[in-house]
């Protein structure tokens, strides 16, 4: 018996959810294809060569490369470990692993298409600034207290 | 999607080996994340069926207050999979009245990934992991506040 305060059936809810997902599936597939492309062309060796100058430079480069990278976050830690073994600073690595999961240049068009350009711009600028601040503060906090 | 396919076709003429590698890597990613898509579809259906708009607004709407912030942080931390997999659900919640500020908080608190904590501890150590996690929560909250102030000006 249908409850009076449940206006939709479970079947309807499932179909609606599926339709909603299918509507954005082309964008999701496009993002996945771009990620595949990136993983084929950008190697950890390329990334290592760009670090090791100063805190601001390392944070900026780390943030940038995290932002253009994409994929399973485990990969960011694997790459970070390799970079750590090559004496890349914590400033760079904090920024890199953080921007890997919070920023995504590859998915910006999809994000703007769904949430609007204004929302996307504000969100990503705030995320960028936060990531750089956190990378700096985390490293400095560790140096001061540990 | 069409633009990406065109890029692939063009690059395939110049570098077929890497393009083939890209295709396989993309398939690999899809195979890894399809369970997340199923989860999100089911979660979306669950929310549509069980949660009335009034309830969503109570926890995540304009009057949700500190409770909304807490739930946004919590759901961000426990959410799984790539961010773009969640776009559909989040957009739907947004149309149902979820505050943009809480979406921003959710987006950034996703930087804390519970399954990655052991990796983080193994590579960077426990102090680093705890400190960066606390800063992520703080800045997720601050981002929400700043976004709310700037975006709705």
Q: Does A54 touch chain B (CB under 8 A)?
A: no
Please check whether residue A48 lies inside any domain of the structure: yes
Q: Is residue A110 part of a domain?
A: yes
pLDDT at A2: 45
Q: CB-based burial of residue A109 (10 Å sphere; 0-12 exposed, 13-18 middle, 19+ buried)?
A: middle
Residue A3 host element (H or E): none
Q: Where are the domains of chain B?
A: 1-50, 53-153
Distance CA B143, CA A130 (A): 8
pLDDT at A8: 66
What lies within 8 Å, CB to CB, of B133 at 6+ separation is B112
Of A5, A66, A85, A102, which to mutate for an interface test with B (greatest number of B Cβ within 10 Å)? A102
Torsion angle of alpha carbons B68, B70, B72, B74, nearest 10°? -150
Task: Give the contacts of A97 (CB within 8 A, at least 6 positions apart).
Answer: A66, A73, A76, A77, A80, B120
- Residue A74's domain comprises 34-145
Q: Do residues A66 and A99 lie in contact, with contact meaning Cβ atoms separated by under 8 Å?
A: yes
Reading the block at residue B135, the tokens are 């800063």
Distance, in Å, from the CA atom of B89 to the CA atom of A68, rounded to the nearest integer, reads 24
Residues in B closer than 8 angstroms to A11, CB to CB, are: none
Q: What is the share, in percent, of chain A residues with pLDDT greater than 90?
A: 34
pLDDT of residue A7: 58
pLDDT score of B63: 73
d(CA B51, CA A6): 9
Q: Is the pLDDT of residue A1 over 50?
A: no
In this prediction the ipTM stands at: 0.77
Distance (Å, whole) CA B22 – CA A77: 21
Does residue A87 sit in helix, strand or coil? Answer: coil
pLDDT at A6 over 60: no
Question: Read out DSSP for B72-102?
Answer: HHHHHHH--S-GGGGHHHHHHHHHTT--HHH
Best to test chain A binding among B83, B100, B142 (most A CBs inside 10 Å): B83
Is A86 an 8 Å CB contact of chain B?
no
CA-nearest residue of chain B to A34? B4
Percent above pLDDT 70 for chain A = 90
A86 assigned to some structural domain? yes
Give mean pLDDT, residues A128-133: 96
Q: How far apart are CA B94 and CA A85, in angstroms?
A: 43
**pLDDT tens per residue, range A70-80:** 767 777 887 88
Instruction: Please name the helix (run of DSSP H) or strand (run of DSSP E) that holds residue B2, with its range, or none.
Output: helix B2-14
Contact A20 B88 (CB under 8 A): yes
- Domain total in chain A: 1
Q: Which of A26, A74, A134 sits opposite B135 (nearest CB)?
A: A134
Q: Is the dihedral of CA A47, A79, B117, A101 positive or negative?
A: positive
Q: Is the dihedral of CA B18, B27, B40, B120 positive or negative?
A: negative
pLDDT in tens, chain B (153 residues): 888 888 888 888 888 888 888 888 888 878 877 787 787 788 777 777 776 666 666 677 777 788 889 999 998 998 877 888 888 888 888 888 888 999 999 999 999 988 788 888 888 999 999 999 999 999 999 999 999 998 876
User: Given a cut of 50, is residue A46 above it in pLDDT?
Assistant: yes
């Amino acid at each position: 018996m249908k409850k009076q305060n449940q206006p939709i059936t479970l079947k309807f809810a499932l179909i609606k959810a599926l339709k909603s997902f299918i509507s954005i599936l082309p964008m999701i597939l496009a993002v996945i294809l771009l990620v595949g492309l990136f993983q084929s062309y950008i190697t950890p060796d390329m990334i290592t060569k760009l670090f090791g100058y100063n805190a601001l430079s390392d944070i900026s480069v780390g943030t940038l490369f995290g932002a253009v990278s994409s994929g399973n976050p485990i990969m960011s830690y694997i790459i970070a470990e390799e970079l750590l073994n090559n004496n890349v600073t914590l400033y760079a690595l904090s920024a890199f692993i953080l921007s890997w999961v919070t920023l995504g240049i590859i998915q910006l068009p999809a994000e703007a298409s769904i949430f609007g350009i204004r929302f996307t711009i504000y969100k990503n600028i705030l995320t960028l600034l936060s990531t750089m601040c956190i990378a700096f503060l985390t490293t400095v906090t560790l140096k001061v207290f540990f | 999607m069409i633009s990406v396919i065109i890029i692939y076709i063009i690059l395939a003429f110049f570098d077929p080996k890497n393009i083939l590698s890209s295709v396989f890597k993309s398939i690999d990613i899809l195979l890894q994340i399809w369970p997340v898509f199923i989860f999100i579809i089911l979660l979306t259906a669950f929310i549509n069926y069980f949660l009335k708009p009034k309830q969503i607004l109570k926890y995540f709407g304009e009057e949700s207050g500190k409770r909304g912030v807490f739930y946004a942080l919590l759901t961000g931390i426990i959410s799984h999979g790539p961010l773009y997999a969640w776009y559909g659900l989040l957009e739907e919640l947004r149309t149902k009245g979820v505050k943009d500020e809480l979406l921003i908080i959710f987006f950034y608190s996703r930087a804390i990934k519970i399954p990655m904590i052991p990796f983080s501890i193994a590579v960077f150590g426990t102090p680093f992991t705890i400190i960066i996690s606390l800063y992520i929560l703080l800045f997720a909250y601050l981002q929400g506040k700043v976004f709310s102030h700037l975006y709705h000006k």
